[in-house]
Amino acid sequence: MSNTHDMRRSTVLLSCLVLLLSVLPAAAQPSGDGALVFAPAGLSVDQYDVVTTPEVVEVEAHDGVVLHTRVYRPDTGGVATPVILVHSPYYNGLLLGDDTRSLDLVEFFTPKGYTVVLSDLRGTGNSGGCGEQDGPNQAKDFATLVEHFADQPWSSGKVGSYGKSYDAETQHAGAVLDPRGLETMVSVAGIAGLYDVAYFDGVPLALNGVLSATAYELYDLDVPGDVGAMPRRFERHTCQPENFANGADPRGDMTDYWAEREFRAGVDDITASMLMVTGLQDFTVSPINLDGWFDEIPTFRRAIIGQWPHKYPYDAADPIARDDWYDTVHAWFDHELMGLDTGITEWPEVQVQDEDNAWRAVDSFRGMGSEVELPLGEGTVTFGEDGEWSVDLPTPSRHLSGQAYLDAVIALDRPDGHFAVRLDEVRSSGQTRQLVRGYLSAVHRESLLNPIPVTPGHPTPYRIRTYPFDVTLDEGSTLRLTVSGSDSATLPAGTGYTATVDLSRSVLRVPVADDRCGLAVATREAAGPTAGCPDGVPVSTAWTDVPRSFGHDTTARVIGTSVETIGGVDAVREWGYLTMRDGVELAFEVVRPDDDQPHPTLFTYDGYAAGADPDAGYAERYLPDGYALLGVNLRGTSCSGGTFDFFQPAEAHDGYEVVEWAAAQPWSTGRVGMIGKSYPGITQLFVAETQPPHLAAISPGHYYADVYRDIANPGGITNYAFAALWSFISQPGPGVLAAPGESLAGDATCLANQRHHATNAPDNPLLQAETHPHEVMLHAERSPLTHADRIDVPVYQALSWQDEQLMSRNTHFLATLDELGVPYRAVLSNGDHGTYREGPQMAELDRFLEAHLVAPEVLADGTLLEDYLAEPSVSVFWEQGETTAPRWVTELDGWGDQAVAHVEPLSADGGLGGTTVAGSTSWLHNAAGTQGIADGTTLGSDYQTVTTWDRYSPPPGTFAAFTSLPYTEDVALLGSASADLWLTATAPNVDLQVTLTEVRADGTEVFVNQGWLRASQRQLDRARSTALLPVHTHREADVAPLSMTEPSLVRVEVLPFGHVVREGSRLRMWVEAPTAVPQLEGFQLDPTPARVTIHSGADFPSALVLPVAVSAPVPQVYAGQAGQPACGVSQRNHCRTDPLA
């Protein structure tokens, strides 16, 4: 930031400018030549004296670290003030600190009624703690400070943050925690992830990681400016070895260290608005921070993208500097913090500066330029890691703006390598100038989290992106593309590779600027010619989201065929291997009618043995109806090659290739659908998100959408039982069993691949779950929910409330599909992990597949196709038996508003609803004694029988139970419930299980459903939570201990269910430590014993919030006690004798 003198000079110029521009009624009006004019207006004025002496306020962080702040608060006579917060490492150091930094904000904003808070980052200045380089504690500190100052009696409750460089990244880190009171951010030259400082897509940037750690270690080593803070200096060095070790890591992997500092992973959680400023010549904090960040911010946002280096816009060199910076910030804060109409909502979303100092308006970062494809030629070229290859290309425009991408097919002779791409301008005189660079590590082509070795010698597709740029070429210039192994800015892989580029399959995609909307701004020197804007800011065109196959034509190697009769139909069975884009071979098997006709194709894709048998049950059912069936094994499973890693991105890209290969076969109509439940259900969602052109529909059953919350860590508690089942029983079990048969049949490839599968071990789900107890980037990458907006085909799904493997949180995904407008059909029922294949569900699946893969005018059941497509989206099957149809069905047009919240207060006397007795209920919480199968039987193949809830009764004194009065009418409950508990405990954490049951009039207790929560991870995601659905952040930074004396609100989701509480029955809620029944859940529990207390009454209104169905009437024949199903009829609604009777 510039010094105060520079600020005053700018202010004088600005005051003149404001007088000239204040007559304009809004901030983006047409100028005389048709361009838009950027001129903030309607600004607040000075009313108070400048604050010169701050109040020192020390705030305690969540872990006890002291955060030092200086508070500059104007004397407003009692009028509440908004707060501008700058959280920085640059203050108050005796040697390196700058106590005058940010005083320009104080001088400018305190007279206008703003309080300015300047705070020292932990490990710097006068604050305690260790400077952990954007780690979770620093993020939490920012959130703590925001909430602290929002809660002060003199505060309006609205906080805005401000700063450049590190002062900007502290905003990004804290904003993803969604702190209460944070209204807006002004971020200048801030990173979107610390990884970008050290690496570029897997390639280490020369010394950057180490230099960054060293630079901020100097601030940590500095002496506090306040002698009284001197003892805190000795807190500062505990985290430095970790910073240096990770900064020097040459691998380029997005390790846990970098992932927890990757703010893009939490961008969806931001609720504050943002003004973002980036310089395209800034390589201290590179403009790559725009990519995957700005356009994804879900709130009100604006960006200014200039040609300056690591500067504020006013602090840049005079030819390109802007003189409207303080008015811009003033207008932004006035609108967002004071509610004044300063016109910022009319500002163009993105302002971009070109090299001639002319500005223009575009609608997004990606909209800076439109894609133009430049072919590279024919044939092949070769270069070595220490060499390079170049080609000159005609430029489609003189003005290029955005990011360029090289989509190249390259064969390496080694399993690893780095690529460097450079674009140069070649002028007609022969002179060249560098325009932009970009990099990629070959093993990180699919994922930064999951490096995949290259198959030596196999032509493999790569997409190499560049930094963002905006350049104007001379007349007559051409573009030169250079590809090499490394350059002076990066560290080479050192593998000494030779690379061969297939030019005919490679293209350069360049961004051509859209100059249709010029923008007049207050530049320090005369701007270049500004284009008009006759039609407003143009809508950008979408860039090609090139599939990972890059046009790779998958080839099949058939190793066997047979002819047999299946389902009364003559069928051909053929099997072999499909070669993927990177040379990995996947085992496949096709079963199809033995004729010359094309058939719609059903594709099963799993980690079991689909490549050896695409499912005999499906074949028997669908071959007679004219379908072909295709089964493929995931890479690293059964007979497939490659390495298995639980839902790695490569699986989805492989699936894309398989769909397109199947659609091109002569036995296919070109319409491919996917089928299957559990693993082959989950894979469908990932494949659909890659948008294969010939994928017509998917039909996943019993899937997860959010891997962390749905299955890996329900309620934040590690579910080791499911991970262990998959790691050591389901995988590699079926594949190993299949291998001997394939080997005996002469398939040597299968046996060789099985030997390679030993490398799967480090990536098995159990180990990954054990090492990631909090939500991290890995979970987002492996969750279909993350990219659900890419699904563009119809979806059928069958889900069950008491699914003992994947549970029922997956029903929340229906609301996501509703929001996205994705057509779907869902069948929801009570039952276990197998209801997808029950008769009524399969009948609905038959109709769905026929409608979307065959599309006759009239379906086989006589329904007109157009009538079928107009049917309701959701069918709720009530009280379905294991072998019987549901007793009745409710049809709904969508999910999410199917129920209203009904609050039942908890009473200290054990009552639920009705008159509340204030007080408390406590129990001895001993998690170590509750885990395990209820009757001591070991988990085996019959686990669904062994682990039933009816075999379990909680020991006295180890639970709290709340029971309602008998219901006076039948009440249908449909959706998730929320147990809102005000808790104290004698331990900092307790792991909770909440179970809902119905107690019938005859004394029988019936299981409804359960939910879990690690109480220390109770922090809510405010944007996603509702009265019926508490969604927790599960970030490490949000972990907070329980108090022994001050009750904390702990909201536990009871997983979605559909259940009717009959007239005369009572509803009961149990609260206890988690058990292993009735779901297949084995939790890694906190074993600390504790006395846990639930407080109730007006001050601490603990309650159960129930989802009362809006429209789900119970047929008279099934009403009341007489109409309820006998025990054992309604699947998975187990019964036991009331243990409290």
DSSP string, 776-787: -HHHHHT-GGGG
Confidence of residue 4 (pLDDT cuts 50, 70, 90): very low
Beta bridge partners of 305: 278, 352
pLDDT > 70: percent of the chain: 90
Q: What is the rounded CA–CA span in Å between residue 927 and residue 944? A: 23
The answer to whether residue 826 sits within a structural domain is no
Here the tokens at position 368 are 């800076």
Indicate whether 222 and 93 sit together in one domain: yes
Residue type, 539: V
Tell me which of 66-75, 369-378, 429-438, 639-648 is least confident.
639-648
Indicate whether 953 and 921 sit together in one domain: yes
Indicate whether 1084 and 962 sit together in one domain: yes
Indicate whether 983 and 1126 sit together in one domain: yes
CB contact set of 296 (below 8 Å; sequence gap of 6+): 264, 267, 268
**Smallest Cα–Cα separation from 134: which of 170, 160, 90, 101?**
170
DSSP 584: -
DSSP 68: E
Where are the extended beta strands (E) located within 364-497? 369-375, 380-384, 388-393, 399-402, 405-412, 418-426, 432-441, 460-465, 469-472, 478-484
Taking only the tens place, the pLDDT of each residue in 517-526 is: 999 998 888 8
Task: Decide the pairing of beta strands 399-402 and 469-472.
Answer: antiparallel
CA pseudo-torsion sign 298, 304, 305, 308: negative
Among 520, 538, 566, give the residue marking a domain's end: 520
Q: What is the pLDDT of residue 40?
A: 82
Here the tokens at position 200 are 């570029």
Q: Do residues 482 and 610 lie in contact, with contact meaning Cβ atoms separated by under 8 Å?
A: no
Confidence of residue 1083 (pLDDT cuts 50, 70, 90): confident
CATH of residue 459? 2.60.120.260
Determine which helix (DSSP H) or strand (DSSP E) holds 147, and give its type and residue range. Answer: helix 136-150
Q: What is the pLDDT of residue 736?
A: 57
Q: What angle do CA 953, 959, 961 make, to 5 degrees?
A: 90
Here the tokens at position 292 are 């995957």
Q: What is the pLDDT of residue 762?
A: 64
Q: State how many domains the chain has.
A: 3
The answer to whether residue 535 sits within a structural domain is no
The answer to whether residue 433 sits within a structural domain is yes
How far is C-alpha 135 from the geometric centre of its chain's CA atoms?
Answer: 19
Average pLDDT over residues 300-325: 94
Give the Å distances, CA to CA, from 9 to 45, 49, 743, 1050. Answer: 19, 20, 81, 53
Q: Do residues 658 and 693 lie in contact, with contact meaning Cβ atoms separated by under 8 Å?
A: no
CB contact set of 201 (below 8 Å; sequence gap of 6+): 252, 438, 439, 440, 441, 444, 448, 464, 465
Q: What is the pLDDT of residue 25?
A: 31
Length of the chain: 1141
Exposed, middle or buried, 860 (CB in 10 Å: 0-12/13-18/19+)? exposed
Q: Do residues 467 and 287 lie in contact, with contact meaning Cβ atoms separated by under 8 Å?
A: yes
Cα-flanking dihedrals φ and ψ of residue 1038, to 5°?
Answer: -95, 0
Q: What is the pLDDT of residue 229?
A: 72
**344: number of Cβ within 10 Å:** 25
Average pLDDT over residues 315-344: 95
Q: What is the rounded CA–CA span in Å between residue 27 and residue 519? A: 11
The answer to whether residue 924 sits within a structural domain is yes
Q: Which residue has the higher pLDDT, 646 or 478?
A: 478
Among 487, 520, 553, give the residue marking a domain's end: 520
**220-255 burial: b if 16+ Cβ within 10 Å, else e:** bbbebbeeebeebbebbeebbeebbebbebeebbbe
State in Å, rounded, how far the first CA of the chain is from the last one.
72
CATH of residue 165? 3.40.50.1820
Indicate whether 494 and 458 sit together in one domain: yes
CA pseudo-torsion sign 794, 800, 805, 808: positive
Indicate whether 317 and 403 sit together in one domain: no
Average pLDDT for the chain: 89
Chain position carrying tokens 């889900």 = 799
Q: Do residues 368 and 470 lie in contact, with contact meaning Cβ atoms separated by under 8 Å?
A: yes
Q: Which residue has the higher pLDDT, 922 or 213?
A: 922
Q: What is the rounded CA–CA span in Å between residue 892 and residue 578? A: 42
* Cis peptide, bond prior to residue 732, ω within 30 of zero: yes
Residue 988's domain comprises 899-1137
Give the Å distances, CA to CA, from 1024 to 170, 237, 812, 1033, 1110. Answer: 23, 38, 11, 10, 22
Q: Do residues 437 and 580 lie in contact, with contact meaning Cβ atoms separated by under 8 Å?
A: no
The answer to whether residue 430 sits within a structural domain is yes
Tell me which of 32-46, 273-287, 620-634, 724-738 is least confident.
724-738
Residue 141, helix vs strand vs coil: helix
The answer to whether residue 983 sits within a structural domain is yes
Q: What is the pLDDT of residue 935?
A: 38
Residue type, 1100: F
Residue 1031 has pLDDT above 50, yes or no: yes
pLDDT > 90: percent of the chain: 72
Indicate whether 258 and 118 sit together in one domain: yes
Indicate whether 976 and 948 sit together in one domain: yes
Q: What is the rounded CA–CA span in Å between residue 975 and residue 867? A: 28
Taking only the tens place, the pLDDT of each residue in 370-379 is: 999 999 999 9
Confidence of residue 216 (pLDDT cuts 50, 70, 90): low
Indicate whether 330 and 378 sit together in one domain: no
Q: What angle do CA 920, 926, 929 make, to 5 degrees?
A: 145
**Smallest Cα–Cα separation from 1004: which of 954, 955, 1065?**
1065
Indicate whether 149 and 225 sit together in one domain: yes
Indicate whether 343 and 418 sit together in one domain: no
The answer to whether residue 944 sits within a structural domain is yes
Residue 195 has pLDDT above 80, yes or no: yes
The answer to whether residue 932 sits within a structural domain is yes
Task: Answer left, alpha or beta for residue 568, where phi above 0 means left and psi between -120 and 50 means alpha.
Answer: left
Chain position carrying tokens 């995931």 = 634
Q: Do residues 747 and 639 lie in contact, with contact meaning Cβ atoms separated by under 8 Å?
A: yes
Indicate whether 329 and 374 sit together in one domain: no
Average pLDDT over residues 878-906: 95
Average pLDDT over residues 684-705: 96
Residue type, 698: I
Exposed, middle or buried, 380 (CB in 10 Å: 0-12/13-18/19+)? middle
**Three state DSSP letters for 742-767:** HHHCCCHHHHHHHHHHHHHHHHCHHH
Q: What angle do CA 1060, 1064, 1066 make, to 5 degrees?
A: 70
Q: Which residue has the higher pLDDT, 769 or 832?
A: 832
Residue 929, helix vs strand vs coil: helix
Q: Do residues 626 and 746 lie in contact, with contact meaning Cβ atoms separated by under 8 Å?
A: no
Confidence of residue 495 (pLDDT cuts 50, 70, 90): confident
Among 520, 543, 578, give the residue marking a domain's end: 520
Here the tokens at position 1038 are 């949000």
What pTM, to 2 d.p., does this model score?
Answer: 0.89
Give the Å distances, CA to CA, from 309 to 9, 286, 321, 367, 368. Answer: 21, 9, 11, 22, 19
